[in-house]
Structure 1
Amino acid sequence: MRAPGFWQVGGWQAVVLAPLGWVYARSTARRVARQGWKAPVPVICVGNLNAGGVGKTPTVVALVERLLSRGRRVAVISRGYGGSLTGPVRVGGHRADQVGDEPLLISAFCPVYVGADRAATAQMAAAEGAEVIVMDDGFQNPLVVKDFSIVVVDAALGWGNGRCIPAGPLREPVPVGLARADLVLAIGAGEVATSVPLVRGRVEPLPMGMPWTGARVIAFAGIGNPGKFFATLRAEGADILREVALDDHQPLTEALMKRLELEAMARGAQLVTTEKDAVRLPPSFRGQVMTLVVRLKIEDWAQIDAGFDRLGL
């Protein structure tokens, strides 16, 4: 589902729905107040205040690579949204419909554990030798105590209209959420109001040998904000004949992919998608679809490194 326009600019709909937003905020406050399990190793949480995609997965990958460069055995835990397994289970030899697309993508970098019970999932990761756990999402989940919390925000969107779901995009009021955060990571350009230290980053394509300039493509994406993918691909010089914006985590069925394949053949175009979508492709299409690979570039690691140092990492 796409976020309604009034989530960003406000309007009469936001005013009418505001009482439901207050109820949602109170429910979140009661949930996060519960006592969680304290892991025997540091837990770093990558979360957000906004619903939808803001760049958490690239952030997790960047943190994992940074921790690995510091010689730490790192593991990621995830709810495994979109997967059928309740876990806890270590990702390996699974499909996206079993463990979720994001855990499958991240498992190329480090051990990833998926489970509905985050405490049990963290216990498994620690028992199997993790020296530090990165929690993918779960900032509002109280089951595991966080030692260092990073709130990720799309700088172009900020905190939207400042209201909670369904009146706005927020899972909880900004002051309440930031009171539990150690820093805010703003991805992209734009001003972000924050009461905690601010770190900036940007998502950049990796040079993979594909000459995107002038390439005729049909681009499809089932991520939180498909428009960012299309904009990045266009900035690389691709000639996008059609943008296919799918729902976040939408299954890439044989029928859907066959329709896209036939359209690409008829128009002399190449199919291209995101890394997260690529892991959901049916096996028969994986050799036919190009992937735009991106990584998060942190402008200054000092604040994050200081947090790692504080945790003995």
Structure 2
Amino acid sequence: MALLGTAPRFWWREPGLASRALAAPSLAYGWVARRNLERGARVRVPLPVLCVGNWTVGGGGKTPTAQALGRAALAIGHRPGFLSRGHGGAARSPLLVDPSQHGADLVGDEPLLLAGVAPTAIAPDRAKGAELLRQAGCDLIIMDDGFQSARLHVDVALLVADARRGLGNGHVLPAGPLRAPLGSQLAHADAALLIGEGAPGEALAHQLRDSGLPLYRATLGFPNAGDFAGRRVLAFAGIADPEKFYASLKAAGAEIVATRSFPDHHMFKPDDARELLAEADSLGLDLVTTAKDRARFQGRQDGPMRGLNRLARVLDVEVRWSEAETAEALLRQALARFSAR
């Protein structure tokens, strides 16, 4: 049974009774999403914008891709800034993220990760967030998500998919994981990135070849994988696809004795920490989680949260382009299109 707040398992299987039962609301949602993509306001801002989005709900590798593009922009002499809605955070006004002052409860978990690379603004109103980045001295915006909302004009839209899951059953929410009808997304995307390997990803690659949309490829790398080889661990995660994290940790050589999965963007509470610490201690296990999860309890010192901060280790992840020039090519395409506006 799926956890509350996680994607239903039938989304990632062949279409069946569950998806057919949701055909009517899926059709309605798809109509609205298509109309939004076709008629969205798309405010123009005075900086180049490269949007990194997902075809589906969660777990595609969007944020690591945005981080990789930010590092590539820095490497070629630009001053990138990240723009995010700040999902999961309480902030309702535009804000420049300061990891030393702000927690995930205010700004969300992903902006804290992005802020470790370059200036990051969160804002429900994307144009106001873009203005914050301009005032901060940025000369290029990398927008983490926001493709389907169509509130900001983008110079290049890159859509990311995990090859292990592809587009799932191919249906639109709530019958499947697609955030808008595939044809509408293809019409407004400029390129696609497929991360990893898997038959669902190859099926998507075939569709993309037929559409003519440029397809890039990458894998996920784990810079500190050697730290976990041979270690007996309790792995825990509150992300869209925790099984992907567990598989990566196992591939790093860890012996996963126990796992604890939480809903995506789960804000850890003292009771969660107490239970994790007690189970790890009783079984003699190392606690291991993701950077995104760590961001949600980083610095917390209330009761057992102090122990979780001290003992939980992170398996680091990074996007590794199959062709080294991919990131620079995408960035230069965004810059060229901005210059030609």
The TM-score by the shorter chain falls in which range?
A: over 0.9
Picking from 3, 7, 13, the partner of 1:3 is: 7
Q: Which residue of the partner structure matches residue 15 of structure 1?
A: 20
Contact 2:196 2:220 in 1 (8 A): yes
Partner secondary structure for residue 31 of structure 2: helix
| Superposition TM-score, scaled by structure 2 size | 0.88
Picking from 88, 91, 109, the partner of 2:117 is: 109
Q: Which residue of the partner structure matches residue 288 of structure 1?
A: 311
Matched, 1:47 2:34: no
Partner secondary structure for residue 27 of structure 2: helix
- Bigger mean CA offset, 134-143 vs 301-310: 301-310
Q: Which residue of the partner structure matches residue 200 of structure 1?
A: 217
Partner secondary structure for residue 312 of structure 1: helix
Query: Equivalents in 1 of 2:155, 2:327: separation in Å?
Result: 13
Query: Equivalents in 2 of 1:299, 1:131: separation in Å?
Result: 27
More helix by share: 2
Cα RMSD (Å): 1.4
Partner secondary structure for residue 82 of structure 2: strand
Contact 2:192 2:215 in 1 (8 A): yes
Partner secondary structure for residue 188 of structure 2: coil
Partner secondary structure for residue 67 of structure 2: helix
Aligned positions, number:
312
- Bigger mean CA offset, 294-303 vs 212-221: 294-303
Partner secondary structure for residue 243 of structure 1: strand
The letter for the 1-side match of 2:92 is T
Query: Equivalents in 2 of 1:110, 1:13: separation in Å?
Result: 43
Runs (5+) with no aligned partner, structure 2:
337-341
| Superposition TM-score, scaled by structure 1 size | 0.96
Partner secondary structure for residue 179 of structure 1: helix
How far is the alpha carbon of 1:6 from its aligned partner? 2.4
**1:98-138 Cα deviation digits (max 9, x unpaired):** 00011011111100001111111112112322100010000
The letter for the 2-side match of 1:37 is V
Identity %: 38
Q: Which residue of the partner structure matches residue 263 of structure 1?
A: 279
Contact 1:49 1:151 in 2 (8 A): yes
Query: Equivalents in 1 of 2:225, 2:250: separation in Å?
Result: 16
Contact 1:14 1:168 in 2 (8 A): yes
User: What are the within-5 Å matches in structure 2 for residues 142-221 of structure 1?
Assistant: 142-190=150-198, 191=202, 192=204, 193-194=207-208, 195=211, 196-207=213-224, 210=227, 212-221=228-237
How far is the alpha carbon of 1:301 from its aligned partner? 4.2
How far is the alpha carbon of 1:198 from its aligned partner? 0.8
User: What are the within-5 Å matches in structure 2 for residues 222-241 of structure 1?
Assistant: 222-241=238-257
Contact 1:218 1:240 in 2 (8 A): yes
Runs (5+) with no aligned partner, structure 1:
none
Contact 1:151 1:185 in 2 (8 A): yes
